Structure 1
Amino acid sequence: MSVLSQAITPSTAQPVMATLDGNEAAARIAYRCNDVIGIYPITPSSPMSEACEVWESQGKMNLWDQVPRVIEMQSEGGAAGAVHGALMAGAMATTFTSSQGLLLKIPNMYKIAGELTPFVMHVAARTIATHALSIFGDHSDVMAVRQTGFAMLAASSVQQAHDFA
């Protein structure tokens, strides 16, 4: 699937159309709306992290004319902790994850939700690895964190992923 994204470029003030997949659509919005992006690449959410790292290295600005800080951690728990710390310091922060990685963020999710801290976590839903070792998409990872207190939005198209991000 793809989405046509319209963006106004400062040099031409003309709309630019681009065909995107869901990962890039969510990553573009996440990058533009945050000061800190805590990452630990995990498939299938890795392209979101990788895109943000590239944009940071290119010096691409966010909405506040700053280059967001992309922090790659050594674990999913570390990425969640870095984001939680940034949120407590007053920064706008986000992270990307899926399946097993989402489960490792549960302790931080309870803290963030309990503190009523505004935060968006971008989840590329994938089945939780069990005895069958499935890599197919489902929502078992998201359903496993329902009790954390997070409000959840689920996109059914790339356009919705872009809009919800």
Structure 2
Amino acid sequence: MSRLEEKTLKTEKIFDGRIIRLQVEEVELPNGQLSKREVVKHPGAVAILALTDEGKMVMVEQYRKALEKTIIEIPAGKLEGNEDPLQCAKRELEEETGYGCDEIEWLISFYTSPGFADEIVHLYMAKGLHVIENSANLDEDEFVNLKEVTVQEAVQLIGEQKIYDAKTAYAVQYMQLKEALQEK
């Protein structure tokens, strides 16, 4: 089958919230049949692999209601309006950790759950961390504990299912590959 696109015939908005929108789309499939797709619309997000001068990764421990558990993650947050992802990454790093950085670079962008959502995460690496006096605070409904972990400790946390999200696992894998290449 050469044509794989699905043509949207009708969109019904189901929910419009603070973070996501849910809609049901009636689509024409490549074979001409009709089907429905439930789609979550998301403004996009950033995640920051923040490295201390000692090479440790700065992470946040926080409770995630959707999982009903506390997990450890790299700092992250959603884009506000038409916010530039780089500016969002700097803002989220400051808000969640109290750190600014001398250097920040984009690593990669990826979709989190393309089967039903359009959320894209832009992953950045921040170096040259420094504490910002009177830094921006967490959102009023955010509570986190800061952690600094080595790559080996992060791998252990993945095994213990304390690191349990894709963006953080992706960042840890990036660091593992980086270390392996440096050893050669």
**TM-score range for the pair, normalised by the shorter chain length:** under 0.3
User: Which structure is higher in RCO with an 8 Å CA cutoff and minimum separation 6?
Assistant: 1
Q: Computing the radius of gyration over CA atoms, which structure comes out larger, 1 or 2?
A: 2
Higher strand share: 2
TM-score, normalised via structure 2 length: 0.24
Higher helix share: 1
TM-score, normalised via structure 1 length: 0.26
